[in-house]
Amino acid sequence: MSTYLIAPSLTKIFNKSLSSGMFPTKWKTSKIIPIYKSGAKCDVNNYRPIAILCAVSKVLERHIHNHLYQFLVSHNLLHHAQSGFRRNHSCETALCKLVDMWTSNMESGLINGAVFIDLRKAFDMVDTDLLLRKLAVYKWDDLTLTWFKSYLQERDQCVHFKGTLSSKKSSLYGVPQGSILGPLLFIMFINDLPLYANSNTDMYADDSTIHTSARTVEELNNKFTEDMTNVQAWCTNNNMVINDDKTKAMMITTSQRAATLNSNLRVEFNGVQLKNTNNEKILGVVMNEHLSWKQQIDKVAKSLIKGIHLLRQIKEYLPIGHR
């Protein structure tokens, strides 16, 4: 269908939605398609849910997103620690920032420490009532807040599997997965987390790293124990849960300095000592305690070897000029 035929009708619907503060009910349903990952197919944990939303609704969302993002940036309202879902920010810029800071500290004779925080199902756990209260802090007018309330609440979802569609179930928590506005609303929800830590905080969406430097391991332990107590307070206030098993601590220093240390990090959280690690995958890149890239290089090389092997297998089926 030609654009000029549907544009007037869509414009009328969009304007009506904005002027009334109501998001169309029919656009609030998410169709969930489970995509198999690996393992036993009878285990629901081995499927990745993909949310399909009304395509037309995303046009309106994009319009709202552009204005909302411009408002946040022009008033410098997004915390500088957040690199996710922001223009001129990326995984690469976030990683460069961390590596530069840690390298500089090591050159100054300091020991780096980092705690990699894993929030359990963070996007799905967002309390929409609390999110709306946070949005109200930005002094928006009542109509704008009413529209976002209509957008966030009274949503539902159904599952489409093997040609069968389930009955609808209400979605009581979380920002809409697969939406345009969801990621931006999430980083607004988590925007105040860095204020709870005295150490440096760097975030990429829901991946948070608290890091600092000190002369001694004991000093690092004291700093992190206080920070984790404060972070737990934030989680309690925001109905978020830290995954103890996946939240880890790592000491980062030169191999020469590490040889002189007779203790490791002992970061306590909820009365339990966090696991220490010698290497951690940060935003897709494996880093180790000495900032060596060996594990990352080995990982990439292994992946390339597999790719080359597959190419060799199909070589005989390609035209001679492409072999």
pLDDT in tens, 278-290: 999 999 999 999 9
For residue range 260-275, what is the model confidence (pLDDT) as tens digits?
998 889 998 888 899 9
pLDDT at 323 > cutoff 70:
no
Q: Is the pTM of this model over 0.85?
A: yes
> Do the Cβ atoms of 117 and 275 come closer than 8 Å?
no
Confidence of residue 4 (pLDDT cuts 50, 70, 90): confident
Query: Which residue intervals of 138-293 are DSSP H helices?
Result: 142-152, 182-189, 217-238, 255-259
Lookup result for tokens 């070897």: 305
φ, ψ of residue 191 to 5 degrees: the values are -60, -30
Confidence of residue 294 (pLDDT cuts 50, 70, 90): very high
Q: Give the number of other CB atoms < 10 A from CB of residue 141.
A: 8
Residue 224 structure tokens = 């992190």
Are β-strands 285-288 and 29-36 bridged in parallel, bridged antiparallel, or unpaired? unpaired
pLDDT at 1 > cutoff 70:
no
Lookup result for tokens 């009955």: 167
The closest of 78, 82, 56 to 69, measured between CA atoms, is: 78
> Do the Cβ atoms of 61 and 181 come closer than 8 Å?
yes
The residues pairing with 285 across neighbouring beta strands, listed in sequence order, are 282
CA–CA gap between residue 300 and residue 302 (Å, rounded): 5
The closest of 67, 78, 237, 31 to 147, measured between CA atoms, is: 67
CA–CA gap between residue 209 and residue 250 (Å, rounded): 11
